Structure 1
Amino acid sequence: MTTRGFLLGKFLPPHTGHVFMCNMAAAMCDELTVLVCSLDSDPIEGSLRYQWMKQLLPHVRVIHHTKNVPQTPEEHPDFWAIWQRICKEAHPEHLDYVFGSEPYVVELAKVLDARPKLIDPERLAFPTSARIILRDPAGNWDMIPDAVRPYFQRRVVLAGAESTGKSTLAAELASALNTRFVPEYGRIFDAYRTEDWQSSSFTEIELGHRAMRQAIAPSAGPILIEDTDELVTRVWQSALTGTMPARARPSDLADLYLLLPTDLPWQDDGTRYQQADKFREAFQQSMKHELIEAGVAWRAISGTGPARLRNAMEAIEQAFAQGTDDEARKTASR
């Protein structure tokens, strides 16, 4: 006989304890249904949490409930009858078990004519909660599943003309912050391109960089470093074709941009274009203009060697310690 289990939660956000609980429940029955419950007022959109849970539990039936309903018995005299109806609509078949880590599981199982199965109510296996994650994502990074991490990540992009040390600093920052960095996809594209630069070339570079970022982000730390991005690529298109792209700027721009100056000597690595100082400086001015027009937070980083790394680290710490990007915009070097 097939045994059926049921588990519901807000998963606001999903954490490793949730995944453990769902996987354990799935191992204790033949068919498990997980109901993701969301309200319009939730700080993280319900549809996003639903997609996360589907991604985290590919072997489980995941359903999304979106109606605004009472959350505690004190809110409505028919609280349990309301939730009985919700659960039966989501799972019309007879249920054998109701799983969860909270005491309400006992009463919910009773109204659904099922057996309650509490899983690690003291949270010994994974000592965390959604509230703890929301309060300090970076401090509880190991409790956030890979699929959820990009939502909480802060992105730092290195911008600047050729031969300003972006690639070197990206690797140094990633090491210092115990994270990963996204290499410049445009360099890869340029090394193997077979035609002259055109608008479609830069669209392809932007798509490639975005795909690389999406592939790297889940395994990175709370801060993701990027060697250029789509915004910087727009300036490169203007520099190499003479025309700024007509396409709109990306909506998901980075949290902080670090603009590296042209105070390092130009070095030809086989992919360089702008040896003359006037071209590098023109690029810098265009980059500054684009950063200002985009309304993003940015800092100009100076220094060489260890001093440059130290200045970049200080800029990151100051920007993110403020909890807002507004101050970073106000104090950015012009």
Structure 2
Amino acid sequence: MSHSYSTGLVVGKFWPPHRGHQLLLETAAQVAELVVLVYANPDSPTHPAATRADWLRMLYRGDDGHAGPHIGRTPLRIFALSATADGVPPDAADDTTQREFVRQWLARQGIRIDVVFTSEAYGPGFAEHLGVAHVAVDEARTRVPVSGTRVRNNAAAYAQFLHPLVAAQLGVSPPAPVPRVVFLGAESSGKSTLCAALAEACGTAWVPEYGRTLHEQKNGNLDYDDLLYIARRHAELEDEAAAQARGVLFCDTNAATTALYSYYYFHRCDPALQAMAAVCGQRYAHTFVCAPTVPFEQDGWRGPEALRSFQHGMILMQLDYFGIPFTLVEGTVAERVAQVRAVLAR
């Protein structure tokens, strides 16, 4: 398509957003601008349209963090509609009522679209009513065999079709092709060195701490919203690496530690990040904590050495709070590698 259309439209409940929705949006993002309407009537009492729209914004936030949600170079304009404020018709209303509601809403907003993207049988008639082109995306659900109804009925059974950020809001964690093993610890406690050594020893992959990457990219000037983005992006990098890993995937840090840093730097934590922290016990097959006993290395990005003991204690407290069992590793790198391999062998 390559921007042959100026403005595209996607309409849905996104209750909750799943991989099928993501396929739809990412296919539709071949236009110059994509308008996304999120609504249902009756709506979810626990995760209303405004919340689900926020999840989409979180999913498609980029490194810059300030340009608004986008897919590639295509900006997303995401609107959450409600029966009270916007007159959303009941879900059971006839097709003509539903189509006319969208037509009138777009007209009131001064939004002109060229094409509608859908994964539903109603798509052609909907587009014809609006007087625009239609593109069907995986209507048979062969590429992503899931629906919002199935997820609502049993989120755990369909977690594989959910992005980790969305899954966490539902209290579940998607399965991985290989077990994920996570390493936590204070700054300069040897996590990265240990992960790299284990990956080499086991012939597999490991995932560096994405928070460190973004921290350096932004010259140490992280914003509050960056912390949720760090957790989301780190989870995505884990999932990408898991597809290439052999037998086990080693991960440097997790969303729970990112939540701690959110409280440390900003004295608050986004509820979506809290949810991602809360499912870390499900996400990782084993948790190791690196004792802060290796020599401290100040690389210009870390806090003072005196903070290590406090950070170590906070991590242990958080693990106890979430009821996550862990193994403490100490000694040289070689000794730590041996300790981890012995535990995993059991």
What TM-score, normalized by structure 2, do the two folds share? 0.52
Equivalent position amino acid for 1:13 in 2: P
Residues in 1 aligned to 2:36 and 2:307: alpha-carbon distance in whole angstroms: 55
1:201-220 deviation digits (Å, cap 9, x = unpaired): xx97998x948666644433
Q: Which residue of 2 is the match for residue 296 of structure 1? A: 322
Residue correspondence of structure 1 range 1-334 to structure 2 within 5 A: 6-11=9-14, 12-13=16-17, 15=19, 16-23=22-29, 26=31, 33-39=34-40, 40-41=43-44, 43=47, 45-51=51-57, 52=59, 54-56=69-71, 58-59=73-74, 62-68=77-83, 69-70=88-89, 72=91, 75-76=92-93, 78=94, 80-91=96-107, 97-114=115-132, 116-123=134-141, 126-129=143-146, 131=148, 139-140=160-161, 150-152=165-167, 156=182, 158-159=184-185, 166-171=191-196, 180-182=207-209, 185=212, 210=227, 216-221=234-239, 225-226=252-253, 229=257, 248=267, 250=269, 252=273, 254-255=277-278, 256=280, 258=287, 260=289, 267-268=294-295, 286-287=313-314, 290-291=317-318, 295-302=321-328, 304-309=336-341, 311=343
Equivalent position amino acid for 2:23 in 1: G
Deviation at 1:17, TM superposition (A): 1.9
Residues in 1 aligned to 2:78 and 2:188: alpha-carbon distance in whole angstroms: 50
| Structure index of larger Rg | 1
Residues in 1 aligned to 2:111 and 2:230: alpha-carbon distance in whole angstroms: 43
Deviation at 1:113, TM superposition (A): 4.2
Q: Which runs of 5+ in 1 are unaligned?
A: 190-202, 235-244, 273-278, 315-334
Equivalent position amino acid for 2:79 in 1: H
Q: What root-mean-square deviation, in Å, do the aligned CA atoms of Structure 1 and Structure 2 show?
A: 5.4
Change over 3 Å in CA distance of 1:105–1:291 after alignment to 2: closer
Corresponding pairs, count: 265
Query: Secondary structure of the residue that 1:311 maps to in structure 2?
Result: helix
Residues in 2 aligned to 1:162 and 1:6: alpha-carbon distance in whole angstroms: 48
Query: Secondary structure of the residue that 1:298 maps to in structure 2?
Result: coil
Deviation at 1:306, TM superposition (A): 4.2
Equivalent position amino acid for 1:300 in 2: F
Query: Secondary structure of the residue that 1:122 maps to in structure 2?
Result: coil
Query: Secondary structure of the residue that 2:37 maps to in structure 1?
Result: strand
Equivalent position amino acid for 1:9 in 2: G
Query: Secondary structure of the residue that 1:13 maps to in structure 2?
Result: coil
Q: Which runs of 5+ in 2 are unaligned?
A: 61-68, 174-179, 243-250, 282-286, 300-305, 330-335
Residues in 2 aligned to 1:205 and 1:32: alpha-carbon distance in whole angstroms: 28
Equivalent position amino acid for 1:37 in 2: V
Change over 3 Å in CA distance of 1:97–1:217 after alignment to 2: closer
Residues in 1 aligned to 2:308 and 2:80: alpha-carbon distance in whole angstroms: 55
Q: Which residue of 2 is the match for residue 199 of structure 1? A: none
What TM-score, normalized by structure 1, do the two folds share? 0.53
Deviation at 1:233, TM superposition (A): 6.9
Residues in 1 aligned to 2:308 and 2:129: alpha-carbon distance in whole angstroms: 72
Deviation at 1:301, TM superposition (A): 0.3
Deviation at 1:104, TM superposition (A): 0.8
Residues in 1 aligned to 2:132 and 2:265: alpha-carbon distance in whole angstroms: 60
% identical equivalent positions: 16
Change over 3 Å in CA distance of 1:112–1:267 after alignment to 2: closer
